[in-house]
Amino acid sequence: MTVQFPRQAITALSGSLPTTGSGLVRRLVLARNDPGKNRIRMWLIQLDDAQLRSGLGLTPEDIAVLREPALTQLFTLG
């Protein structure tokens, strides 16, 4: 049995998610109910941009997604 979804729904969902080039940032942002990944995300947010770029190889876009205020508030509340 194959489950098929309308392309419009998939396109709408993917358009609402922040885009990032880093798999690490993508996994941390999408892990909403994982306390361990949320702790790692909060720790990374506290690092300065130079450390994130040189030490982890994140791009400015990755850093912006990581520090997106709406997502940060969501993780600190839950």
pLDDT in tens, 65-75: 988 865 555 55
Q: State residue 14's pLDDT score.
A: 47
**Tens of pLDDT, residues 2-61:** 666 565 544 444 455 555 678 888 888 888 788 999 899 999 999 999 999 998 899 999
From residue 23, alpha-carbon distances to 6, 29, 37 in Å are: 26, 10, 13
Pair of tokens at residue 28: 């941390």
pLDDT of amino acid 29: 83
Q: What is the pLDDT of residue 12?
A: 46
CA-to-CA separations, 77 to 5, 18, 72, in angstroms, rounded: 32, 20, 9
- pTM of the predicted protein model: 0.61
pLDDT for position 59: 92
Termini Cα distance of the chain: 37
Sign for the pseudo-dihedral over CA of 14, 70, 67, 27 = negative
Residue 47: closest CA among 63, 23, 71: 63
3-state secondary structure of 3: coil
Question: What pLDDT is attached to residue 2?
Answer: 67
